[in-house]
Structure 1
Amino acid sequence: MPADTTVDWPEAVEIVNPHGRSPFVLTCEHASRHIPPEYKGLGLPEAEIARHIGWDIGAAEVTRRLSARLDAPAFLSNYSRLLIDLNRPLDADSSIPILSENTPIPGNRDLDPKERALRAERMFHPFHAAVTAHLDERRRLGRPARILAIHSFTPVFKGVKRPWHAGVLFSHSRDWGVELVEKLGRDGLTVAANQPYVIDRAEDYTIPIHGEDRGLPALLIEIRQDLIADEAGAEAWAARLAGVVG
């Protein structure tokens, strides 16, 4: 009996609520830590893959719950960012990382062009093609679109503690981004603009390509992962974002 390839090799993207009526379009590029068995965990123990280097902890659950609250379509990845990062250009060094934080990734070293192309074909291109098709259809129908990419960050990075509860990252959508920082900060939270990093076309994909190149409002939300690692935290942040993003 043949193996169930839908388990080992699922579709690249999970689309939630594709016909949602909201102007918001949600993406979650680091939703999953799944690595097909044939990759043997890229030479890493499961404990490493389960850390933030393998996925954005809590981000998928926040995205699903926010989708329901906003009645918004959401696009979630089904593969680990360690195989190929859906929020990096394919020519970026971080697209298929050989080092993530301080952890070497043995299974990504010395990849031949065929393997790199395979991962792009199976994981990267289908995800972004689905987002592109959805945005094209909205434009055809004259429906507005505002992109929110949902991510999470580790509280400590390379030994340095990060002081924020959340960050709002933006480039062209400065007014919307600053407004959202101010609204989130009213709850007594430490929320910063363009932290823990800044949007850079050389290192980011969703906001520049699906947002800026289309002239659409686009923000990337980073939430500290320990705040959304359980259902209660994910629900609280989904409710908080639903109340302020508009």
Structure 2
Amino acid sequence: MNRASDTSLRFGTHDVPPVWEQNAAGRSPFLLTCDHYGRLIPQMLGDLGLSDAERQRHIGWDIGIAGVAERMSSALDAHLVAQRYSRLVIDCNRPPEAASSIPLISEATTVPGNEGLDAAAAQSRRRLIFDPYHQRIDAVIDARLQEGQPTVLVSLHSFTPSYAGIARPWHIGTLYQHDRVLPPLVLQGLRAEPGLVVGDNQPYAVSDDTDYTIPVHGERRGLLNTGIEIRQDLISDAAGETQWAERLARVFSEIEVTLKQRGLI
């Protein structure tokens, strides 16, 4: 990588826009977001000094969640807003000022292409990828509110079966910070499914320091919100993606009924 070019980073002729959407006219109250949907890297940045095998790991994207998100969008008639570029370029679910926004080391793997970046280079990545994605989510929420369309934010992610050598027993978890309405309903719905180990703010919890999408688009906008984390070995193929999308669509359809009965949407 020519690091000097990073300060004036721009997309090449074969690069695609960072934002990808599905079912923009969907009438569901659920707005789906997918911060780690893709693992693309802008042409100008090459491979960030990593092999393709490394870039395909969790450090590069949320394995399996793209297929789940697309299937959920179709099943629920929900608008999906997703981000195509690798979290190694810039993590779209981290505050830009956080050290993990452009990681020098990710899960013990050094990212050579992220070494020695100055503030201008970091800002260039934000301008190219991070800002358009979050500006689009803002615009979608604004339009829905102006139209009087109920909006409930669901941020979709996946997690590794083990971390630092410790196995993670959860099949799925619901993540939250301040919302005390939606996450309990998600927990209730998932725990009614046979055989599932469901995490309550596990394997992660949402915070202003470590997350961006839920705090900024959910909490600051006053929307009901939750994060969903699915263990990656369960969605590593199309069959798993379909199974989990169908399960989540069923759970969220029931939640929609409950929210309407309570007058919350």
TM-score by length of 1: 0.95
| Match of residue 121 from structure 1 | 127
Residues 66-91 of structure 1, C-alpha deviations (whole Å, 9 max, x = no match): 00001010011110000000001100
Structure 1 residue 6: Cα displacement = 5.0
Secondary structure of 1:27 counterpart: strand
Residues 182-216 of structure 1, C-alpha deviations (whole Å, 9 max, x = no match): 22122220001101111010110010100000110
The one of 40, 56, 73 aligned to 1:67: 73
Structure 1 residue 51: Cα displacement = 0.4
Total equivalences in the alignment? 242
CA distance in 2, matches of 1:100, 1:41: 15
Contact 2:72–2:248 under 8 Å retained in 1: yes
CA distance in 2, matches of 1:111, 1:118: 10
| Match of residue 132 from structure 1 | 138
Residue 100 (structure 1) aligned with residue 106 (structure 2):
yes
Secondary structure of 2:100 counterpart: coil
| Match of residue 211 from structure 1 | 218
Structure 1 residue 127: Cα displacement = 0.3
Map of 1:73-112 to 2, 5 A cutoff?
73-112=79-118
Cα RMSD of the aligned pairs, angstroms, is: 1.2
State the AA in 2 paired with 1:24: F
CA distance in 1, matches of 2:160, 2:83: 19
| Match of residue 141 from structure 1 | 147
State the AA in 2 paired with 1:184: L
Contact 2:181–2:224 under 8 Å retained in 1: no
Contact 1:102–1:158 under 8 Å retained in 2: no
| Match of residue 235 from structure 2 | 228
| Match of residue 247 from structure 2 | 240
State the AA in 2 paired with 1:206: T
The one of 24, 49, 52 aligned to 2:55: 49
CA distance in 2, matches of 1:17, 1:38: 31
Secondary structure of 1:120 counterpart: helix
CA distance in 2, matches of 1:176, 1:219: 7
Contact 2:12–2:44 under 8 Å retained in 1: no
Secondary structure of 1:192 counterpart: strand
Secondary structure of 1:199 counterpart: coil
State the AA in 1 paired with 2:135: A
Q: Give the percent of matched residue pairs that are identical in Structure 1 and Structure 2.
A: 48
Contact 2:12–2:43 under 8 Å retained in 1: no
Gap runs ≥5 in structure 2: 1-10, 256-265
Between 232-241 and 167-176, the greater mean CA deviation after superposition: 167-176
Structure 1 residue 171: Cα displacement = 1.6
State the AA in 2 paired with 1:43: G
State the AA in 2 paired with 1:69: A
